[in-house]
Amino acid sequence: MKKLKLVMIGNGMAGVRTLEELLKLSDELYEITVFGAEPHANYNRILLSPVLAGEQTFEEIVLNDLGWYQENGIKLLLNRKVVQIDRTRRRVIAEDGSEAAYDRLLIATGSTPFILPIPGNDLRGVIGYRDIADTQAMIDTAKTHQHAVVIGGGLLGLEAANGLMLRGMDVTVVHIGEWLLDRQLDQASGQLLQSALESRGLKFRLGEQTQALHDAGNGRVGSVQFKHGGVIPADLVVMAAGIRPNTELAERAGLPCSRGILVNDTLQTNDPRIYAIGECASHRGIAYGLVAPLFEQAKVCANHLAQLGFARYQGSVTSTKLKVTGIDLFSAGDFMGGEGTETITLSDPIGGVYKKLVIKDDVLVGTCLYGDTADGGWYFRQIREKHAIGEIRDHLMFGGSSGMEQALGDADR
């Protein structure tokens, strides 16, 4: 039987995981071609922060080396940015003019950093933080310059700030929110995190907006000006104020997009030959930026590409963890609570421990942990599986002992 042609645009974690899952199910169905905009084989993007911090090397975060592609008969085209999808001819065209025909197309273009639309954002020394090139630029800058400003107090921003500090830079984090990680932590745990990071030497400007970046006189950024007044020196500015699904290619091809490429429960676009997965895809109004949901999508997409066709992606419950050595935090589900919810809290500021559990209709719906995250995985399972917790409510704060697992099992029978 003649093989079908599968082309994948993007060579990141979500897309390559889809290929891995597909090859497990059917390794003879497709002739596979992969276009990668970067000059690297697939690597673990979430481990860029430990690389920046000097805890790992670039070589150690490679997931699929060039040999893997060869062994699986995959044609890998690196440094090839695809600029056009010709849906009529069913071909993709790269910037250098190279083309590939497809019977099925998988778009896995990921996301791009949001660069604040402010004066000076095009100066040298102003970068996003998404790939190996960005990470290497930060490592190189830390060798020759002193002052760094990270715009954004989310996960990526704090990991960048920590890494630059460990590289010897004087780092200030600028965040528009009232507390750090305000999408992943509540205020109490966010303040504990800030205190811990300040004790390490990081500086923060919260509730602050950046108005402009100023030239040092040589075409490189030299300082940051704030909306509410004040200017601080900056030889390096890292934009970590959010990401945007990379939908430009799909939009030009006429595929419906709204905060991501719109996909159904089988990860197909409105063109059934074309799939989208990962940070570029929007499923039921949500574009996921964490790895676990993307790997769940990969299983479903591979199942459908393998023509098995029975799997459906229903969305994901997500959890958060910060990759900063010595800082333990975890959150999942609806940890802020709200109308109709009950909150149980344990707070020990001196010991640096904070636990918050949110319950609704006798089910754990959210948790926020700081300092002691040993039971994070157990709480996450309860949230995802929606166990009734009535029988263990009084002991819920103490986490997943074997006795409580038994009690939950009995309650669900």
DSSP string for 29-42: SEEEEEEESSSS-E
pLDDT at 402 (0 to 100): 44
Question: Mean of the pLDDT values across residues 68-94?
Answer: 98
Q: What secondary structure letter does DSSP report for 132?
A: H
Q: Sorting pLDDT into bands at 50, 70 and 90, what band is 5? A: very high
Whether 189 has a pLDDT exceeding 60, the answer reads yes
Q: What is the pLDDT of residue 338?
A: 84
The CATH code of domain 4-112+243-305 reads: 3.50.50.60
Beta bridge partners of 215: 221
CA neighbor of 388 nearest in space, from 354, 363, 368:
363
pLDDT of residue 410 exceeding 80: no
Mean pLDDT of 69-96: 98
Residue 403 has pLDDT above 60, yes or no: no
Average pLDDT on 68-74 reads 98
End-to-end CA distance of the chain: 49
pTM of the model: 0.91
Statement: residue 406 has pLDDT above 60: no
Compute the distance between CA of residue 159 and CA of residue 92 in angstroms, rounded to an integer: 36
Same fold, 4-112+243-305 and 328-412: no
**Could you tell me which residues come within 8 angstroms of residue 219 by beta carbon, excluding any fewer than 6 positions away?**
123, 124
* pLDDT value at 411 more than 90: no
CATH class (in words) of the domain with range 328-412: alpha beta
Domain covering 126-239 in this structure, CATH number: 3.50.50.60
pLDDT on residue 95:
98
> Strand 210-215's sheet: what is its strand order?
210-215, 221-226, 231-233
pLDDT value at position 1?
77
404, pLDDT greater than 80: no
Please tell me which residue, 390 or 58, carries the higher pLDDT value.
58
pLDDT band of 413, cuts 50, 70, 90? very low
Q: For residue 170, give both structure tokens.
A: 């004087």
Q: Are 392 and 405 in contact (CB under 8 A)?
A: no
Binning pLDDT at 50, 70 and 90, where does residue 401 land? low
| Average pLDDT for the chain | 94
Q: Indicate the domain borders of the chain.
A: 4-112+243-305, 126-239, 328-412
The pLDDT-based confidence of 405 (bands split at 50, 70, 90) is low
Helix axes 132-144, 155-166, angle to 10 degrees: 40
Average pLDDT over residues 274-302: 96
* Residue-wise pLDDT tens digits, 194-248: 999 999 999 999 999 999 999 999 999 999 999 988 999 999 999 999 999 999 9
**For range 139-159, the mean pLDDT:** 97
d(C-alpha 395, C-alpha 401), whole Å: 10
Judged against a pLDDT cut of 90, whether residue 407 lies above it is answered with no
Task: Locate 409 and state its tokens.
Answer: 């099992």
- Which of 44-53, 119-128, 135-144, 397-406 is the least confident region? 397-406
Sequential DSSP letters for 149-212: EEE--SHHHHHHHHHHHHTT-EEEEEESSSSTTTTTS-HHHHHHHHHHHHHHT-EEEES--EEE
For the record, the structure tokens of 52 come out as 């920046």
pLDDT in tens, 117-139: 999 999 999 999 999 999 999 99
Share of the chain above pLDDT 70, in %: 97
